[in-house]
Structure 1
Amino acid sequence: MNLVALTGAGISKASGIPTFNEMGNLREKLSRSFFQNNPEEFYKILIEMKEKIERAEPNPAHIALAKYNVPIVTMNIDGLHKRAGSKNIIEIHGNLEYVECPNCNELYDFDVVKGTIYCKKCRGLLQPNVVLYGDIIPLYFNAIDLIGSADELLVVGTSFYTSTAIDLVNRAKFAGIKVTMINENAEENVPKYLKKLIK
């Protein structure tokens, strides 16, 4: 049985990370145009997000997916799947581990932006390793390939506000892959479901 999980913000809710819908107008501020016009404010928002994420711990849903070695496509940038021990993860929206200078390709630990949002070498504006609204998704086809290899797609904590989630789930359905959804109480229902499924 080849199971792949597609996870969204709802899986991390029990870890204390609010979903976008609970954060008011954050969605507009995580756009490419907002970043280009207001880089200082944009990075303030990201630094706050990172601090919330660092206080969070993987919950039983993350831990169960890791325990059963379920490959994961996640729309989250919180890194909780990695911290839970999952190995095969495609983070299609990136993560808050590093920032990059587009001019000289220098990589910096994300925390550098607490001091300056400009490259120390060439003064270029540092780019977050996060896919923003208005960007293409570099790992999209990797995600499609991984989901296409599944007999079953377990969709956890996605609100279907994002066209990405809708598209990936529809592709799975069209390919004849069984789609199972767990959107409520993922921290209880995911471990329960996996235990029953994977004897």
Structure 2
Amino acid sequence: MTNLRQQALDSIRQANHLVFLTGAGVSTPSGVPDYRSLSGVYTKTGMAQPEYLLSHTCFLREQDLFYQFVKQLYHPQARPNSVHLKMAQLEKEKPDTWVISQNIDQLHRKAGSQQVVDFHGSLYDVYCSKCYQQVDAWTYLEDNQHAGCGGILRPNIVLYEEGLEEMAIYQSQQVLKAADVIVIAGTSFKVSPFCQLIYYKSPDSQVIVVNQDDVYLSVPYTMIQEDVVSFFKDI
């Protein structure tokens, strides 16, 4: 075990205010595809600009196309993996542990984490875009039309061209300001404004990145280029 890896593990174990910033790489071991890899959901569309399928414009103009794509993002058979479970365990051991996640699959919460900021929303929070009544996600997967008023149902996720929830931004900022150790896990950390959250960290906090591919930050950080599952099993 390299000294750098051991130091990173020790820092996480000794942290008082621990924050995880997580991306798709934390959920792929649970069988949830990412977006941009060779097997990712965007790649499989064959479109030059697949982001359109998750845009506000697509939702308004091509509701059937939007619906068919979004249904592919649901993986009800997926279960929290060892990384989700380890983060939940650390929250029990260290009450000031938080997760700020780009993922919309709710696996952190299913693992038992309670201090979670769903930065991009959740697939399992579904509402009617006409009357705003909340609807069960399983009802949505059967039909995107609200039986109550005839409006179009949608999950409460942040689409391209839409603004983020102000509370998610505020809560993330406050959590990061208080952190003494920040772990960026399973993400290339390129999606804005999620990647800009790092600028709200305390000047004294330590940043650790655990990812198979290089991640480049403008703040000092320790890079652990490794699969997240293999790293987290040693915490």
TM-score range, shorter chain: 0.7 to 0.9
CA–CA distance in structure 2, aligned partners of residues 103 and 41 of structure 1:
19
Q: C-alpha displacement at 1:11, in angstroms?
A: 0.9
- Structure 1 segment 111-190 matched on structure 2, within 5 A: 111-138=138-165, 139-172=168-201, 175-184=203-212, 185-190=227-232
Cα deviation for residue 151 of structure 1 reads: 0.9
Distance across 2 between alignment mates of 1:107 and 1:20: 27
Question: Distance between the aligned counterparts of 1:107 and 1:113, measured in 2?
Answer: 10
SS in 2 for 1:49: coil
Distance 2:101 2:199 in 1: 16
Within 5 A, what are the aligned runs for 1:4-83? 4-22=19-37, 23=40, 24=43, 25=47, 26-50=50-74, 53-69=75-91, 70-83=97-110
TM-score by length of 1: 0.87
Residue 96 and residue 177 in structure 1: after superposition, are their counterparts in 2 closer, same or farther (change >3 A)? same
Shift of 1:106: 0.9
Distance in 1, Cα, partners of 2:142 & 2:111: 30
* Counterparts of 1:191 and 1:68, CA distance in 2: 12
Distance across 2 between alignment mates of 1:129 and 1:5 = 22
Aligned equivalents of 2:174, 2:114: Cα separation in 1: 17
TM-score (norm 2): 0.75
Q: Distance in 1 between matches of 2:36 and 2:199?
A: 23
Tell me how large the CA RMSD over aligned residues is.
1.7
Q: 2: distance between equivalents of 1:35 and 1:103?
A: 13
Per-residue CA deviations over 1:5-37 (Å, capped at 9, x if unaligned) read 110111112112121102215433111112212
User: In the comparison of the two structures, how many residue pairs are matched?
Assistant: 190
AA of the residue aligned to 1:3: L
* Whole-angstrom distance in 1 between the partners of 2:143 and 2:28: 31
Give the conservation status (yes or no) of the 8 Å contact 1:182–1:190.
no
Alpha-carbon deviation of 1:75?
A: 0.5
Mind listing any 5+ residue stretches in structure 1 that lack a counterpart?
A: none
Equivalent position SS for 1:163: coil
- The one-letter code sitting in structure 2 at the alignment partner of 1:189 is F
Aligned equivalents of 2:130 and 2:64: distance in 1?
A: 19
Q: Are 1:106 and 2:133 counterparts? A: yes
1:60–1:188 CA contact under 8 A, matched in 2: no
Query: How many angstroms apart in 2 are the aligned matches of 1:117 and 1:54?
Result: 18
Alpha-carbon separation, structure 1, partners of 2:129 and 2:203: 38
Instruction: Give the counterpart letter for 1:19 in structure 2.
Output: D
Deviation at 1:144, TM superposition (A): 1.3
Residue of structure 1 in register with 2:223 after alignment: none
Deviation at 1:73, TM superposition (A): 0.5
Matched to 2:208, the amino acid is T
Q: Find the structure with the greater CA-based Rg.
A: 2
Deviation sequence 1:93-114 (CA, Å, 0-9, x none): 1112131123322110112223
Q: Secondary structure at the match of 1:58?
A: coil
